Copies of this chain bind each other. A is one copy, B any other.
Amino acid sequence: MCRWIAYTGTPVFLSRVLFEPEHSLIDQSLHSRMGVETTNGDGFGVGWYTQDTTTPAVLRDVGPAWNNRNLQEVAHHVRSGLFFGHIRASTGTAVQQTNCHPFRHGRWMWMHNGMISGFHRFRRDLVLTVDPALYPDIEGSTDSELMFFLALTFGLAEDPPGAVARMAGLIEKTGHAHDVPYPLQMTIAVADGERVWAFRYSSEGRSRSLYYSTKVDALRALHPETSFLRDISDETRLVVSEPLGALPGAWNEVPESSYGVIQPGGDALHAFRPQLHDGPLPA
């Protein structure tokens, strides 16, 4: 039950997005308006891609984001053209670095807002499905990290939307087998360093909020006075749990049961539906 932000576009200091907007992610860590919890103080993380490295950097810590000095330092001195920010409100699992988002595997980065209902009752069943070769890399105890490893198991590297659909299908099937009527609640962002996929789904059809930013050229026409909009390219895009700032026309809700992909050459929005995986897992 968290808040998150994904940025892709013109490389900027992380602070321009994480700290400077009026209702920024860091401000949301103290005063979320739309989250189930108003305080998200159980750890945080930022992950960013840089040139010259094959993996993203991930900075995570267990205290609140709002008073963390290392986050301030990094955000004000590191530029990136693709980064994630996440603030956590624990739903019961331990407050520790290995439970903070974003999670990373190779060049992949993953973060989540939501929960698996009844997780403690069928976590073991889900863990057993994780590819044994991936299993040793699970470090924490959250449902969110396990969802990532299930998606990796189901072919995230080849087909992100398909892998996430099969992950969701497995969780719903397993939850139903344990008499949980609505097992899954999720908004997810996942990136490979070039593209970002953002998913909004819940078994109940009442998903956590998710928004994407309006195209920059349209926004610029609406708000010619906003200097930040002049500094960034037309391709720049944000996806957020909760709108930042108060720019009319800036935010569009991601529809229920859908996902978007943000990529060079054109973004797209599609329907999302969990799938049952019946065949053998990808080798």
Residues of A within 8 Å of B, CB-based: how many?
48
Among B30, B62, B74, B136, which residue has its beta carbon within 8 angstroms of that of A123?
A: B136
A128 partner residues in chain B, CB cutoff 8 A: 128
- With A96-B96, A98-B94, A128-B128 already in contact, the answer to whether A60 and B70 are too (CB < 8 A) is yes
On chain B, the residues within 8 Å of A124 by CB distance are: 132, 135-136
Question: With A and B bound together, what is the CA distance between A88 and B124 in angstroms?
Answer: 28
Which residues 237-274 of A sit at the B interface, judged by CB distance below 8 A?
none
A73 touches B57 (CB 8 A): yes
- In this assembly, does A41 line the interface, its C-beta being within 8 Å of a C-beta of chain B? yes
Q: What sequence of 0s and 1s flags, for each residue 29-40 of chain A, a beta carbon within 8 Å of any chain B beta carbon? A: 011000000110
- Asked whether, in the complex, the Cβ of A67 is within 8 Å of the Cβ of B42, the reply is yes
Inter-subunit contact B58/A73 (CB<8 Å): yes
CA distance A173 to B215 in the complex (A): 57
The answer to whether A74 touches B76 (Cβ under 8 A) is no
* Chain B residues whose C-beta falls within 8 Å of the C-beta of A50 in the assembled complex: 77-78
Copies in the complex: 4
Given A50-B77, A132-B124, CB of A141 within 8 Å of CB of B98 = yes
Q: Which residue in chain B gives the minimum CB-CB distance to A62?
A: B63
* CB-nearest residue of chain B to A37: B30
- Report how far A63 CA is from B199 CA in the complex, Å: 32
Known: A42-B64, A52-B79. 19 other contacts (CB 8 A): A41-B41, A41-B64, A41-B67, A48-B77, A53-B76, A57-B73, A57-B76, A62-B63, A63-B64, A64-B64, A69-B97, A74-B74, A78-B78, A98-B141, A120-B136, A123-B136, A124-B135, A139-B141, A140-B141
The 8 closest A-B pairs by CB, nearest first: A57-B77, A96-B96, A120-B136, A41-B41, A67-B95, A57-B73, A124-B135, A63-B63
- Give chain A's interface residues, CB within 8 Å of chain B: 30-31, 38-39, 41-42, 48, 50, 52-53, 56-64, 66-67, 69-70, 73-74, 76-79, 90, 94-98, 120-121, 123-124, 127-128, 132, 135-136, 138-141
